[in-house]
Amino acid sequence: MFARMKKTVRVALGVCVASAGIWTASASADSIDPLSYEDTLAPGESVTIRKTVTVDEGAPSSGIVDVMFLIDTSGSMGAQINQAKAAAGDILNGLASFGDLATGFGYYSEPGSVGVKHDLTTDTATAISNLNGINLYDGGGGGDFPEEGIHATKEAALGASWRPGSSRFIIALGDATFKESDGSTLADAKDALDTSGATFIGIDYGGMTSLSGISVQELSDHSGGSIVSSSGLDTDDLVNDILAGVGDAFLNYSEVTVDDLGTSGPGVGVSVECVSADTGSCSGATATGSYDRSVARIFEFDVTFTGINSGVHDFTMDGLVDGASIARETDRITVTGEVSKVPEPGTLGLMGLGLLSMGAFRRRKQ
């Protein structure tokens, strides 16, 4: 046991709001302020810092973005696969405008599908090579009209190495509806999207929603995504379609908080209390409301650090929107000294006798 001491620090904060079109990702300036904090605490001592999260208008540019692509490799998709390969560099560059990007690839057709053929990577050259490794007739020629996208979606959602705090997307490129296969049902795919927190987006080359089978809109509606009708077979068309789908997914949000995502380790305790929630309300550590990115919005949180174990502890705090990081700051807390223990009962008695004796001694001298 140790006595808990507490000190409070208030930091003067400035907010810069950029004016931009709603989906000009490069102009958005989501932030968490202050950008860093350093302090020295004794074990059991606490310090409280006011942290301000600004969710700017427009799409984020400083997030963590993980995208799994699922490519329909059935016989009718030859031109579209070639389009994706030709546009690969531009697709990755465009997606990187939203933040720190990782991409992976899978495929679906009939009779086979693989949700994660190539896991997420942040290396651009590797990602382009992985996409070039997806080929027509992987998994078969297609058979009847619907393809085995349900199983691929479930595998991608549960099998990808999603990063902590990432905005997660599964983007399917296809021209047909989905079907259940390999023991995977529509309900399984929806549950997998819920478990992973991934948003499903379809790039529709003509039949993903309108013909026999399971409309992919079942998955996009369930996960807050969208179906984007293909604009054409030019590489720019595909780039714009993908960016539009991802950008739309950032338009509305309902929760904002800050969290260390487990980086503080056992040396420092971290607790968060929401202080202000723009047009919404605070509930514990979270600001909740019906928000959109048409305007910049300000959220405030009191973050309390408590020293636990001696040492120098470096960690990060992220501003999170619907569980995904939009901005990150760094902290260093140095914990010095030993944890003060509560004296044993017998020791307390001896201390009391000693104090009484000292008092008697003083009285005698007076």
- Class of residue 259 by CB neighbours under 10 A (exposed 0-12, middle 13-18, buried 19+): buried
The amino acid sitting at 108 is Y
Q: Kind of pairing, strands 198-204 and 167-174?
A: parallel
pLDDT reported for residue 210: 84
Q: Kind of pairing, strands 268-277 and 63-72?
A: unpaired
pLDDT band of residue 364 (cuts 50, 70, 90) is very low
d(CA 102, CA 307): 35
DSSP 244: H
Q: What is the arithmetic mean of pLDDT over 83-91?
A: 97
Q: What is the arithmetic mean of pLDDT over 216-228?
A: 98
Using only C-alpha atoms, what is the Rg of the chain?
A: 27
Which of 221 and 141 is assigned the larger pLDDT?
221
Of the candidates 228, 224, 232, the one whose C-alpha atom is nearest the C-alpha of residue 242 is 228
Of the candidates 170, 169, 60, the one whose C-alpha atom is nearest the C-alpha of residue 106 is 170
pLDDT reported for residue 28: 61
CA angle 173, 176, 181 (to 5 degrees): 95
**Beta bridge pairs of residue 298:** 54
Q: Nearest 5°: phi and psi at 74? A: -70, 170
The amino acid sitting at 175 is D
pLDDT in tens, 262-272: 999 999 999 99
Domains and CATH numbers, the chain: 5-60+257-335 (2.60.40), 63-249 (3.40.50.410)
The owner of tokens 């595998």 is 155
Of the candidates 62, 123, 109, 111, the one whose C-alpha atom is nearest the C-alpha of residue 316 is 62
d(CA 193, CA 262): 23
Which of 181 and 356 is assigned the larger pLDDT?
181
pLDDT in tens, 328-349: 999 999 999 865 444 444 444 4
Q: Are 297 and 278 in contact (CB under 8 A)?
A: yes
Q: Are 257 and 302 in contact (CB under 8 A)?
A: no
